[in-house]
Amino acid sequence: MNRAPRDLLAAVYLTFGRCAERHEVGSELVVGGATVGASIAEAAGVSKQTVARMNDELGDLGDVAVALKRRQVTLAKPKPLTVRRVLETLRAIASEKGAGSAGRKKDRVLGLMRAAREGEIRWLTRTLIRNMRIGANKISVLHALASAAETHHSRRDGNASEGEAKLGVTPAMAAVQRAYSLCPSVDVLVPALVEGGVPNAVRSCTMRPFTPVKPMLASITAGAADAVTRIVCKREEDEESGKTFLVEYKYDGVRAQIHVAPSDGGGDDWAVKIFSRNCEDRTAAFPDVANIVLEGAKGGSGMVVDPHTGRGGGGLILDAEVVGIDRSTGRLRAFQDLASRPRGGVNEAELAARTAVDVVVFAFDLVLELARSAEVDAPTVREPNALGSDDDDRYDDRLLPAIETVRAFMLESLDAACEGVMLKRLDGDKSRYSPSKRSDCWLKLKKDYCENLRDSLDLVPIGAWFGQGRKAGWYSPFLLAVYDPETETYQSMCRCMSGFTDEFYRTRRENFGKPPSLVESGVKPPVYDTLEQPDVWFNPTEVWEIRGADLTLSPKHRAAAGARHEERGISLRFPRFIRVRDDKNVEDASGPEEVARLFDAQQSRYDGQGESATRRLAEQAALDAEAEKDEGDSDEDDDGGDREAVLDGDEEER
DNA sequence: CTTGCCTGCCC
DNA sequence: ATTCTGC
DNA sequence: GCAGAATGGGCAGGCAAG
């Protein structure tokens, strides 16, 4: 900040590992491990296979690049790389398009590789593949900026002696972090910091239409009791409040932060932008959503009215979930269907022509409402419909009805093809929208978090890859399969890398490294059915319990292949390891029939046949026999299908 | 023209 | 997304 | 309690290779 303020902006972009903010369209490099690996190979004059082999061993392409650089004799010292030149090159890479662009991207990467010195090439490689592995991320950079700005401005203003107007470093860090989550734009933040320090940055980085806010996130829970207890009982500084909370369906769609405001031209025109959970501009992917919102803006229905002027509000930021829906039946559709929509470059008519999935918008929060004030930090909820009173101290007993209500509501949500429910605090400071925070204000409760609702599978590890980074030297991920006793084959179901302790990895590398478990020839056993090609194959010797969220039709996994889809097998979403089943032989592992049965139970929810989850399996046989009599009320298409219940918790704490 | 690889992004 | 680990 | 790291299934889009 002192020495090279003009380079600071570029330096911050580089530490973020990007050439522009995420919401800038076209800011992606579209360069990955394959391109970078090829460039490293070319720069060092070795084959791509050599680079790949070294990568298997070292587990880090950056380390491979360094090792190869060391071997080289440099004839002419390359011109040193500068921060600004690297950023310019990244931007040039991002803007390459069309035929031959892959080659031109690679050439630019190659240029950087050649110019990089030994100390730079690891950083450069990791930046290009966006995997820094340095134990620090954006937040650390923001904190460093805050600290530097504090020091810099204290000194410049001549009151280094415990500046009175100064914030102090720790509050400054928090302030900058918060400022950036309200207005995640380096272009706004950095010049403001340089010019007027942290207070100036805080003034500049306010929530505004058409700049995405870092979305608020929810914490995971261990079941309905845990969720209710946490949402009600931990209220340290909120003694006054904290008696009510909201429960709502957790829809399985995509997060959409919808911005609506008068367009720049003024007049009565409104503009809409839609941002993803990661603050990408996805407006082009949802022309139908944009139209729904614009219609609302025109008609005024549901829009904010300024009580003083009586006019429509100056703009809104809504937080919402966009979910696929079958308009002919009113049923929600699976996430996998929603994902198959085109992602841009189509208008609404083209979307329809491509038989895209229709969507509903469930708006669940009002993040900013300009009619009220440009500075609101959004108390976002409607008035709670509190039930009962809170004169009793014994919250444990009093929570039981609430837990039961939540549990029942969750079963209902599952029948409605949702993932579970969300619990949100309704009052007190903690109920405010907290950008980018994952805290106990919002809790998510999904089926697979609940002991008695989840099912797991017993799968056989049949192969693995060599881990990267902190898992270098270990097998990760593993390839897991079901066993089909009919054909005596193993059909792959998923890879898995979650749920293993470091200790587990250590022992597995030893155990699987020795015969008889490792297939020494390295050739895929003929009884293995998979489109995957792991680095090593294992003989089938163990059974592992694996949990997941739901089942998907897979293009590369083969469990129950052909049973529920002409070609595809069935796979598992969000797989994680639970434990080794020492008590089972591989012949006792889950099989294709079990997988197909679970898949049917899941499908029944989308067909509107989902009975309460606890009874669903028992009724499956009856369902099969039953003739297909479908009907049912189609839920209204639009918004408004949102179900919610307000429960009364109890305060206190302990 | 079709297929398949790579990348980025959703969860 | 989920999970484990280290601070 | 939080940040950081590794990496899951699976889709579209864009380009290269056949």
Q: Does the nearest atom of strand B lie within 7 Å of A28's Cβ? A: yes
Q: Give the pLDDT confidence score for residue A234 in this predicted structure.
A: 55
Could you report the per-residue pLDDT of A608-653, keeping only the tens digit for each? 887 654 455 444 434 433 433 333 333 333 333 345 444 433 333 3
Q: Which of A69, A214, A243, A250 is catalytic?
A: A250
Residue A485 CB in 7 A reach of strand B: no
Q: Which amino acid is at A68?
A: L
Kindly list the averaged pLDDT for each block of 10 residues, start to end, along chain A of length 654. Answer: 90 93 95 97 96 97 96 82 96 97 97 94 95 86 92 67 60 93 95 95 94 95 93 60 82 97 74 96 96 79 48 78 96 97 93 93 90 38 29 56 93 95 82 84 94 93 97 98 98 98 97 91 97 97 97 98 97 98 98 98 90 50 38 37 42 32
pLDDT at A389: 30
| Cα A27 from Cα A18, distance rounded (Å) | 8
Tokens of A123: 């950083």
Residues comprising chain A, all counted: 654
Q: What is the pLDDT, as a whole number, of residue A385?
A: 28
Question: What is the model's pLDDT at position A73?
Answer: 81
Distance A31 CA to D18 C1' (A): 23
CB A464 within 8 A of CB A478: yes
Instruction: Give the pLDDT score at A527.
Output: 98
How does pLDDT run across A546-568, given as a tens digit for each residue?
999 999 999 999 999 999 999 99
Nearest nucleotide, CA A276 to C1': B10
Query: CA–C1' span, A99 to D15, in Å?
Result: 7
**Cβ atoms A109, A39 nearer than 8 A:** yes
The set of strand D positions with any atom below 7 Å of a protein CB reads 1-16
Whether the Cβ atoms of residue A559 and residue A489 lie closer than 8 Å to each other: no
pLDDT attached to residue A382: 29
d(CA A402, CA A203): 42
As a rounded value in angstroms, the CA-to-C1' distance for A133 and C2 is: 19
Q: How far apart are CA A401 and CA A526, in angstroms?
A: 55
Q: What per-residue confidence (pLDDT) applies to A291?
A: 93
Distance of C1' in B6 from CA in A645, Å: 46
- DSSP of A71-112: HPPPSSPPPPP-HHHHHHHHHHHHH--STTHHHHHHHHHHHH
In a 13 Å sphere around the CA of A353, the CA atoms on its Cβ side amount to 5
Nucleotide nearest to A278 (CA to C1'): B9
- One-letter amino acid of A397: D
Respond yes or no: is residue A106 known to be catalytic: no
Residues near A519 by beta carbon (within 8 Å), at least 6 away in sequence: A525, A536, A537, A538, A539
- What interhelical angle do A138-156 and A5-16 show, nearest 10? 160
Token pair for residue A13? 């972009």
